[in-house]
């Protein structure tokens, strides 16, 4: 340590058997399929050995990651949108094999969060210098469903309603703008609420953000004081069933002053439970994929996966 800063030794790592699991229908790959080959070429120039595995069907990527690990992969590299990254990571969680990402989706939230950017070939070229860090992840438990994990964030209520309202054809054509359109469609509507119970108390909210990252959707910072290296969540609660209340909430988020807006609460916790108010259905999404409806339990799984991160990200948050 020098002058209070943690110094990380610069190490170049070469992987001989990368399993690159990619979604051929991801936004950036659909628009320019050659991006994938440019990224593979960058990996090979750096001395890495790469095998390509397109996802077979929705929900298949986690099992493909497990199979690649069983066949001797020394790195699982996921390329696609946030949903694809979530699926692939699900197969790696609990194993010692490291995990890394290539930004192939619409928002590329995790890549933007860590400072890797949205250029796929540039990200691939920098793979050798990334630092392996064992990090915690979130786990979602819902009645009658297998447990699901998430790397980045979970949203319940308004956020998940927006995800549900996005039309795939519009998303392919307009990218992130499709989410803004879906959000505007909620104006004037009555919102469902959920009870939010943590070890320190109970609250009620119509939008619950349970986050491991600062970056929301690639454009905004809602959970502003959490990092992937933490062992808990930052939870941001927005109260009220009238969607017009979200106008001052949104203004607060834009100006980074939402913690001072009446009706907003910010918590830190490693566990919370969601229960519907008056039995009304509240949707839940994790890493951009719809998961179902509350009731639900969300908790931290410590040291669950080895994620390759840029050295500057690790230094800044250690």
What pLDDT, in 10s, does the model give residues 24-40? 988 778 778 899 999 99
Structure tokens at 20: 């690159």
pLDDT digits (tens, 9 = 90+) for 239-284: 999 999 999 999 999 999 999 999 999 999 999 999 999 888 999 9
C-alpha span between 27 and 104 (Å, rounded): 7
* Res 3: pLDDT: 47
* Res 32: pLDDT: 84
- For residue 86, the enclosing domain spans 18-129
C-alpha span between 113 and 235 (Å, rounded): 17
Please give the mean pLDDT across all residues of the chain.
Answer: 91
CATH number at residue 279: 2.60.200.40
* Res 1: pLDDT: 41
Q: Is residue 26 domain-shared with residue 111, that is, in the same domain?
A: yes
* pTM recorded for the entire structure: 0.90
314 found inside a domain = no
Q: Provide the sign of the torsion angle of the four alpha carbons 255, 190, 82, 35, taken in this order.
A: negative
C-alpha span between 286 and 90 (Å, rounded): 12
Adjacency order of strands within the sheet including 264-269? 264-269, 233-238, 207-211, 153-157, 283-286, 289-293
Q: Provide the sign of the torsion angle of the four alpha carbons 224, 252, 259, 195, taken in this order.
A: negative
Q: Is residue 123 domain-shared with residue 147, that is, in the same domain?
A: no
124 found inside a domain = yes
CATH number at residue 38: 3.40.50.10330
* Res 9: pLDDT: 54
Task: List the chain residues with pLDDT less than 70.
Answer: 1-11, 218
Q: Is residue 145 domain-shared with residue 275, that is, in the same domain?
A: yes
C-alpha span between 184 and 77 (Å, rounded): 35
* Res 174: pLDDT: 72
Local structure of 196: helix, strand or coil: strand
């Amino acid at each position: 340590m020098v002058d209070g800063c943690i110094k990380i030794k610069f190490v170049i790592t070469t992987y001989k058997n990368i399993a690159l699991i990619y979604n051929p229908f991801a936004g950036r790959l659909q628009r320019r399929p050659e991006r994938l080959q440019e990224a593979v070429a960058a990996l090979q120039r750096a001395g890495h050995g790469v095998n390509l595995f397109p996802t077979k069907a929705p929900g298949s990527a986690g099992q493909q990651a497990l199979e690649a690990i069983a066949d001797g992969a020394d790195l699982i590299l996921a390329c696609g949108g946030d949903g694809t990254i979530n699926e692939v990571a699900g197969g790696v969680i609990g194993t010692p094999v490291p995990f890394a990402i290539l930004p192939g989706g619409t928002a590329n939230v995790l890549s933007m969060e860590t400072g890797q950017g949205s250029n796929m070939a540039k990200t691939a070229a920098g793979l050798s210098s990334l630092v392996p860090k064992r990090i915690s992840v979130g786990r979602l438990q819902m009645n009658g469903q297998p447990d699901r994990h998430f790397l980045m964030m979970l949203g319940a209520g308004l956020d998940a309603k927006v995800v549900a309202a996005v039309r795939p054809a519009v998303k392919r054509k307009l990218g992130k703008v499709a989410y803004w359109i879906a959000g505007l469609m909620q104006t004037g509507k009555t919102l469902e609420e959920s009870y939010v119970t943590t070890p320190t108390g109970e609250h009620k909210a119509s939008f619950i953000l349970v986050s491991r990252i600062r970056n929301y959707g690639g454009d905004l910072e809602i959970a502003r004081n959490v990092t992937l290296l933490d062992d808990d969540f930052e939870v941001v609660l927005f109260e009220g069933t009238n969607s017009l209340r979200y106008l001052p909430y949104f203004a607060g988020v834009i100006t980074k002053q939402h913690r001072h807006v009446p009706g907003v609460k910010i918590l830190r916790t490693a566990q919370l439970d969601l229960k519907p108010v008056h039995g009304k259905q509240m949707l839940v999404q994790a890493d951009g994929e719809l998961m179902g409806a509350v009731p639900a339990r969300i908790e931290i799984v410590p040291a669950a996966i080895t994620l390759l991160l840029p050295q500057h990200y690790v230094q800044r948050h250690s």
